[in-house]
């Protein structure tokens, strides 16, 4: 019988415990253990919980691990997420639009976007093709009460306390056989061929393994400190490098509702998130230290949140935007912040740990030869980072704001990624459509290979596979930010018919309003969320 592979995860948090719980669930059965999994996390590393938003892929992770959604929501103070609402991103005058998760049915030729472009654009694009923006405005969640058996089939994600999520996964994984050590890494033993042989801890442990997972955050103790893998900086296109956060308990201020969406509001030197949980609202100001120092950023966030937060503490979280030249080198794989981080504008932080974990389970080295698996894994992860860089950069490229030094800097041509520029220039000839992702190479796109970091492997130019952001996501941002406005005047004239909500969408809104409870009412009845007094 083949012995199970020894997998050693260094670092806990949501990334480490997602890897541990998912690999155990995906690879091991009561009759056959493919992987013996050990997780070591340092008791000295401070834990930071700022409120976390996700995208719908998180539901796959929960399903494979075998977590009940309601129990999950209870354990992580979770709420539902239909969409992201963007405020003040276009002109800074109160404009807003939604990026919703719902996917309308896309036939080979889908004319709903074309129909809107040929209208007077008097209704926001997202509200004409999806019910979810309207439900967000009404504070209605995606699900009915369990006894009603109402299923509208909405695609949704969650907001959560990521620290509680990590603790929940730890409880589940260790109960199923994952070994857990609270200890501090002190040394890494290497083999002659450059693999990691074992790690040593302050408590005297020596843990050997076949595969080592680096979940040590920006410290990157294995992938960078020991293996020297290069970090690819993305700050030319994404200027944010820190966040200041404030947590507002509902006992301090409850607005009378719980949003079923994330809120992202553009301000003078970046943008402010609002993430609703069952017991508090999490606020954070992602900004560039070039344009706002700590005092300025904290003052602006406090003014935005309101005077009720005056006595509440603020916390600064520095970060760097970019990713590893290679996430898998030899027998070491970086997952989480050690592999990369991009601004959380589209809630892709946990998603990249999610993707990396799923990809590792599908590329698990059952038979020993890791090189071809690592090459393919690195290609997939690099493509996805490239895709997310493009999509987040797109939000900044389309702004028309010039009211602060930060926004004027954002609009400089060198802040637009060449790949994004090529897409936008092509789409000024014709609106985006599904075939644009069949082969995501656009005229004018540079022939730039992946950065090698001096490592062997696949260095073809990365491509946009639309693995997470495809046509409907691009349409939401492009048309929410007034893309092709001048072109539509030329193509279709200025005297165009009023915009209309698609009939199936209007019917869905009517039915949902009649059948689905408010988000807070669902959480109170199903999850036991307390009833707070509006203030």
Please tell me whether residue 467 adopts helix, strand or coil conformation: coil
Q: Residues 419, 420, 421, 422: is their CA dihedral positive or negative?
A: positive
Coil, strand, or helix at residue 320? coil
Instruction: Break the chain down into helix, strand, coil percent, rounded to 5.
Output: 35, 20, 45
- How distant, in Å, are the alpha carbons of 61, 151, 190 from that of 68? 11, 17, 41
Buried b (16+ CB within 10 A) or exposed e, 141-162: bbbbeeeeeeebebbbbbbbbb
Q: Please count the CA atoms within 13 angstroms of the CA of 298 that sit on its side-chain side.
A: 14
Can you tell me the distance from the alpha carbon of 160 to that of 77, in angstroms, rounded to the nearest whole number? 6
Instruction: Please give the Cα distance from 387 to 468 (Å, whole number).
Output: 8
Catalytic residue among 5, 74, 81, 85: 81
∠ CA 392-395-400 to the nearest 5 degrees? 155
The question of whether 494 is a catalytic residue gets the answer no
Residue 302 CB partners (closer than 8 Å, separation 6+)? 246, 309, 310, 314
Q: Which residues are catalytic, by number?
A: 81
């Amino acid at each position: 019988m083949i012995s199970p592979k020894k997998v050693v995860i260094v670092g806990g948090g949501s990334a480490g415990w997602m890897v541990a719980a998912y690999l155990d669930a995906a690879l091991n059965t009561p009759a056959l253990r493919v992987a013996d999994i050990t997780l070591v996390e340092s008791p000295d590393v401070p834990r930071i919980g700022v409120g976390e938003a996700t995208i719908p892929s998180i539901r796959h992770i929960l399903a494979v691990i075998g977590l009940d959604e309601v129990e999950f929501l209870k354990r992580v103070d979770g709420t539902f997420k239909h969409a992201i609402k963007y405020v003040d991103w276009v002109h800074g005058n109160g404009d807003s639009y939604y990026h919703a998760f719902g996917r309308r049915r896309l036939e080979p030729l889908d004319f709903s976007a074309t129909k809107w472009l040929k209208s007077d654009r008097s209704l926001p694009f997202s509200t004409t093709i999806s019910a979810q923006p309207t439900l967000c405005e009404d504070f209605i969640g995606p699900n009915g009460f369990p006894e009603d058996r109402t299923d509208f089939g909405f695609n949704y994600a969650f907001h959560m306390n990521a620290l509680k999520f990590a603790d929940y996964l730890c409880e589940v994984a260790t109960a199923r056989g994952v070994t857990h050590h609270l200890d501090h890494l002190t040394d890494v033993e290497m083999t002659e061929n450059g693999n990691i042989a074992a790690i040593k801890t302050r408590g005297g442990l020596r843990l050997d393994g076949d595969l080592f997972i680096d979940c040590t955050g920006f410290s990157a103790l294995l992938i960078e400190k020991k293996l020297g893998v290069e970090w690819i900086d993305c700050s030319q296109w994404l200027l944010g490098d820190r966040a200041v956060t404030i947590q507002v308990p509902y006992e301090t201020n409850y607005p009378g509702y719980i949003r079923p969406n994330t809120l992202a509001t553009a301000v003078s030197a970046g943008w402010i998130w609002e993430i609703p949980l069952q017991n508090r609202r999490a606020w954070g100001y992602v900004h560039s230290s070039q344009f706002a120092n700590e005092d300025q950023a904290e003052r602006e966030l406090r003014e935005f949140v309101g005077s009720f937060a005056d006595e509440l503490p603020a916390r600064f979280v520095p970060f760097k935007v970019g990713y590893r030249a290679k996430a898998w080198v030899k027998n070491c794989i970086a997952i989480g912040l050690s592999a990369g981080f991009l601004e959380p504008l589209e809630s892709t932080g946990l998603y990249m740990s999610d993707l990396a974990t799923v990809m590792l389970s599908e590329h698990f080295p059952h038979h020993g030869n890791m090189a071809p698996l690592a090459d393919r894994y690195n290609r997939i992860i690099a493509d996805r980072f490239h895709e997310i860089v493009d999509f987040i950069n797109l939000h900044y490229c389309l702004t028309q704001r010039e009211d602060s030094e930060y926004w004027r800097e954002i609009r400089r041509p060198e802040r637009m990624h060449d790949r994004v520029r090529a897409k936008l220039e092509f789409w000024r000839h014709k609106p985006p459509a599904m075939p644009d992702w069949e082969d995501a190479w656009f005229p004018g796109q540079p022939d730039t290979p992946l950065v090698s970091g001096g490592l062997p492997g696949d260095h073809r130019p990365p491509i946009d596979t639309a693995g997470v952001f495809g046509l409907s996501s691009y349409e939401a941002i492009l048309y929410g930010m007034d893309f092709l406005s001048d072109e539509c005047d030329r193509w279709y004239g200025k005297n165009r018919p009023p915009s209309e909500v698609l009939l199936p969408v209007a019917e869905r809104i009517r039915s949902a309003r009649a059948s689905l409870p408010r988000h807070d009412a669902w959480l109170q009845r199903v999850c036991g969320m307390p009833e707070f007094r509006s203030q």
